[in-house]
Every structure is written in structure tokens, then in C-alpha cells.
Amino acid sequence: MATLEVKNISKSFKETKVLKDISFSMEKGEVVAIIGSSGSGKTTLLRCLNFLETPDNGQILVNDEVLYDAEDSATKSEAEIRRNRLHFGLVFQSFNLFPQYTAKGNVMLAEQLLAKNRPDYKKRKKEILTEIEEKAIRILSKVGLQDKMNNYPHQLSGGQQQRVAIARALALNPDILCFDEPTSALDPELTGEVLRVIKSLADQDTTMVIVTHEMDFAKDVADRVLFMDGGVIVEQGPPEEVLLNPKEERTKQFLSRVQSI
Ligand SMILES: Nc1ncnc2c1ncn2[C@@H]1O[C@H](COP(=O)(O)OP(=O)(O)O)[C@@H](O)[C@H]1O
Ligand SMILES: [Mg+2]
């Protein structure tokens, strides 16, 4: 059973076709790196997976369940979308933490909100909140921030903020964790700590889609690389094929451009 199946997704903004018939699937524990020039549709694809955009055509399945079908309006209701979003975690380029909450508060927030809908919330509030806090502490330790849990975002470096954002995305146990250029907004000396955390998640069999410009990292961490250009997947395969021995002319041109920078 595939963890994620994307079938024939298309998306236009007005007259501009940004995604054209995108299909791919992922097995549990697989790491897919998406590479491609700016404007090729990478962010739009991640936004479609997280239901921040509504695809014009196609389907999205997680664990064989149809979460989205452009032909089926029942899958497009607000309530459905809110529920379906929980299958995905998303880490943005700019960390997007809530400045008024500590690192721990940021990680706890989504679960605290969800817990309020639990039928036993009133009766077990204290216990439930303790559980959520303990889990946040566990996850923050996992990303190496056990000493920074009570710091506010402005008291953290960019690399530390991004690790909080990763912890926050992990808090709801998503089936698939998505990253959109997770190190692009960081000073070069801070990229390593974030890439190491992502690598450690890969080693723990986290299913991940990572949009990245870090070719060495993609080579190191990805099971499969997708090269996108002009809204289509031009080529996909193991990193040693796509990155070292590409078949398509467009992939070769892209790689020689990024490698000459
Ligand atoms: N909300 C939007 N409205 C109009 N055009 C958009 C919107 N979002 C993205 N685009 C266009 O879609 C194309 C792909 O953008 P994007 O998915 O951000 O590419 P990438 O992440 O690969 O750089 C670009 O030409 C961009 O201008
Ligand atoms: Mg982008």
C-alpha cells in the first residue's frame, strides 16, 4: 500500500497552468527530494498536498483513502479539508512560528486546540494537557532543543527556530512530512544543524517530501529525486541516476546551472 498517491494533479492560476498532470507515489518511510528551478511549481505542489490550494484536476490518496478528488465535491468541504490536513506536516522556508509563544508553546498549540474537541476534555483537562506537554518536550529533545524549550522565537537562532518548526510539524504525527526549502532562509553556518535533524528523521523512517536546492543533501538523504520543470515532473529516480547520470536534457541543463553557482 502506498502511503501517498498523487494522481494527475493540475493547477492553474487564471490562465497560467502551474501544475500539469503531476503523478507520483510514495511508500512508507520513503524520502523524496523535489528539485527544479524557481517557478517550476514545487511550492504549489506542496501547497496542494497540504490543501492550501485546491487542485483543478486529480486525486490525492493517503494510505489508500481518497482524501481529495477534484470530481467529488464531498472531498472539498471545509470540515473534510481540515481533517485531511492532519495527514500532512509542513515546514516552510520562513519558520512562521508564533512570536507570542515559547518553543514548547508553539509545539503544543495545535494539539491543545484539537484536544478541546475531545469528549473527555472537561473531565481530564489537566491530565490531557500534561500529556501534550510531555510529548512536546520529547519532540523538542529529539530535534536537540531540550535546553531552549522555554525560549521565545526572538531568543532563538534561525536554525533553532527552524528546528522548532520541524518539532511543531511532527507534533500531530503526520503520515507525510513536507519541507519547502527548509534551509533557504538560513545563514550558511546554520544549515547543517537543520539538515542533520532532517537526516535523523529520515533514518527513523519518516516519510518525507523535501523541496531543496541542496544537491549534496538530496543525494545523501533521498531515496528518490523528482526533477520538476514548467509544472511537470521531467524525470524521477534514485539520486545516483537523476543527480549524477540524468537522462533528460532539461535535467542536465538544470544541474549544470546549479553546479556552476
Ligand atoms: N497564488 C498564485 N497566484 C498566481 N500565480 C501563482 C500563485 N502561486 C504561484 N504562482 C505562479 O506559479 C508558478 C510556480 O510557482 P511556485 O509553485 O512558487 O514555484 P517554485 O516553488 O518551484 O519556485 C510561478 O510562475 C508563480 O508565479
Ligand atoms: Mg518555492
Instruction: Determine the average pLDDT of the residues in 116-133.
Output: 95
Pairing of strands 208-211, 31-35: parallel
- Per-residue pLDDT of 181-225, as tens digits, reads 999 999 999 999 999 999 999 999 999 999 999 999 999 999 999
Which residue has 489537566 as its cell numbers? 126
Does 44 contact ligand 1 (Cβ within 6 A)? Answer: yes
Does 43 contact ligand 1 (Cβ within 6 A)? Answer: yes
Q: Which ligand is nearest to the CA of 231?
A: 1
User: What pLDDT score was predicted for residue 110?
Assistant: 94
Ligand 1 pocket check: which of 9, 11, 12, 13 to mutate, most ligand atoms within 8 Å of Cβ? 13
Q: What percent of the chain has pLDDT over 90?
A: 96
Element (H, E) at 249: helix 249-259
Q: Is the full-model pTM beyond 0.85?
A: yes
Is pLDDT above 90 for 91? yes
Query: How far apart are the CA of 185 and the centre of ligand 1, in A?
Result: 18
Report the distance separating Cα 12 and Cα 48, nearest Å: 12
Does 42 contact ligand 1 (Cβ within 6 A)? Answer: yes
Instruction: Determine the average pLDDT of the residues in 248-253.
Output: 97
Task: Tell how many helices (H) and how many strands (E) occur in the chain.
Answer: 9, 10
Q: What percent of the chain has pLDDT over 70?
A: 100
Is pLDDT above 80 for 180? yes
Grouping H, G, I as helix, E, B as strand and the rest as coil, residue 5 is strand
Give residues with Cβ within 8 angstroms of 169, minimum separation 6. Answer: 89, 90, 91, 177
Instruction: Determine the average pLDDT of the residues in 236-252.
Output: 97
Does 41 contact ligand 1 (Cβ within 6 A)? Answer: yes
User: What pLDDT score was predicted for residue 170?
Assistant: 97
Pairing of strands 176-180, 88-91: parallel
User: What pLDDT score was predicted for residue 261?
Assistant: 61
> Quick one: angle between helices 158-170 and 121-142, nearest 10?
130
* Beta-bridge partners for 60: 6, 68
CA angle in degrees (0–180, nearest 5) for 58-172-78: 45
User: What pLDDT score was predicted for residue 190?
Assistant: 93
- The mean-pLDDT minimum among 16-20, 78-82, 235-239 falls in 78-82
- Show the DSSP H helices in 39-175 as ranges: 42-49, 78-85, 103-115, 121-142, 158-170
Number of C-beta neighbours around residue 166 at 10 A: 26
Ligand 1 atom showing the smallest separation from residue 37 Cα: 22
Report the distance separating Cα 161 and Cα 181, nearest Å: 14
Q: Which ligand is nearest to the CA of 38?
A: 1
- State the pLDDT confidence band at 259, using cuts at 50, 70 and 90: confident
Q: Which of 118, 149, 113, 112 is nearest to 132 (CA)?
A: 112
Query: How far apart are the CA of 8 and the centre of ligand 1, in A?
Result: 18
Does 15 contact ligand 1 (Cβ within 6 A)? Answer: no
Is pLDDT above 70 for 106? yes
